[in-house]
């Protein structure tokens, strides 16, 4: 049987899929473009047509997963009805973000970020700007809306957004390692627990 040839427009996706597997197994430093090419079923030179080096490949992995998810959240916020409450927007964002954080590709990227990006200043700066800062601005904007409308007590939106990020990321990490955290419930239960805790913190006016 002749080898089935994939269309050229599908090759970046092939390469990214292979990169997720190789980086997940061997890390950013340990993964080799030769192995990524072999797994993708393309020549090594084909990778260079789309990604000049491993850093560019990692950046595109981040853009096509996390950055795209943030952009989707921004679009939902911008398209929301003007009368929509900040709480409903926060719940919508939290639900989508929680399910997204439970995806295997996000786990792979998170492990790489925590383990290897401190040794890669350029990639760390890229991730801090394109992911962390942008995601916090998204959450902070919703919280600022809630404060202005009297739904939430007066808080610093950026600090509240940082607390939000820490709560969701830590639980996503724990849920991915359930044997170490046997008291965790099912994913939907964890989501409701986090929302109840976080929204209470935003709305409680008890000193």
Provide the CATH number for the domain around residue 79: 1.10.357.10
CATH assignment of the domain containing 1: 1.10.10.60
Instruction: Tell whether 140 and 46 lie within a shared domain.
Output: no
Q: Which domain holds residue 12?
A: 1-52
CA angle 139, 181, 25 (to 5 degrees): 80
Return the pLDDT at 193. 96
Output Rg (C-alpha) for the chain, integer angstroms: 20
Q: What is the mean pLDDT of residues 39-67?
A: 93
What is the model's pLDDT at position 3? 38
**Domains of the chain: total:** 2
Separation CA 42–CA 17 (nearest Å) = 12
| Digit-coded pLDDT (tens) for 91-120 | 999 999 999 999 999 999 999 999 999 999
22 and 65 in one domain? no
Residue-level pLDDT at 206: 57
Domain co-membership, 67 together with 168 = yes
| Mean pLDDT (the chain, rounded) | 91
**Do 42 and 78 fall into the same domain?**
no
pLDDT tens per residue across span 128-184: 999 999 999 999 999 999 999 999 999 999 999 999 999 999 999 999 988 999 999
Question: What pLDDT, on a 0 to 100 scale, did the predictor assign at position 10?
Answer: 78
Are both 161 and 77 inside the same structural domain? yes
In sequence order, what are the residues at sequence separation of 6 or more whose Cβ sits closer than 8 angstroms to the Cβ of residue 4? none
Is a pLDDT exceeding 70 seen at residue 86? yes
CB atoms within 10 A of CB 132: 15
Same domain membership, residue 23 and residue 84: no
């Amino acid at each position: 049987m002749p080898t089935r040839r994939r269309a050229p427009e599908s090759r970046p996706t092939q390469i990214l899929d292979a990169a997720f597997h190789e980086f997940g197994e061997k890390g950013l430093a340990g993964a080799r473009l030769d192995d990524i090419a072999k797994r993708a079923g393309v020549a090594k030179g084909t990778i260079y047509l789309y990604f000049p080096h491993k850093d560019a490949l990692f950046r595109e992995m981040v853009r096509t997963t996390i950055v795209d998810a943030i952009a989707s959240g921004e679009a939902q916020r911008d398209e929301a009805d003007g009368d929509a409450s900040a709480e409903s927007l926060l719940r919508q964002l939290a639900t989508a973000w929680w399910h997204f954080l439970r995806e295997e590709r996000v786990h792979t990227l998170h492990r790489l970020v925590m383990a290897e990006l401190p040794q890669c200043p350029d990639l760390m700066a890229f991730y801090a700007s394109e992911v962390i800062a942008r995601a916090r601005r998204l959450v902070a904007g919703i919280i600022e809306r809630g404060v202005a409308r009297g739904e939430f007590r007066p808080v610093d939106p950026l600090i509240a957004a940082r607390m939000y990020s820490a709560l969701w990321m830590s639980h996503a990490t724990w849920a991915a390692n359930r044997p170490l955290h046997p008291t965790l419930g099912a994913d939907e239960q964890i989501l409701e627990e986090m929302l109840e805790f976080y929204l209470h913190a935003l709305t409680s006016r008890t000193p």
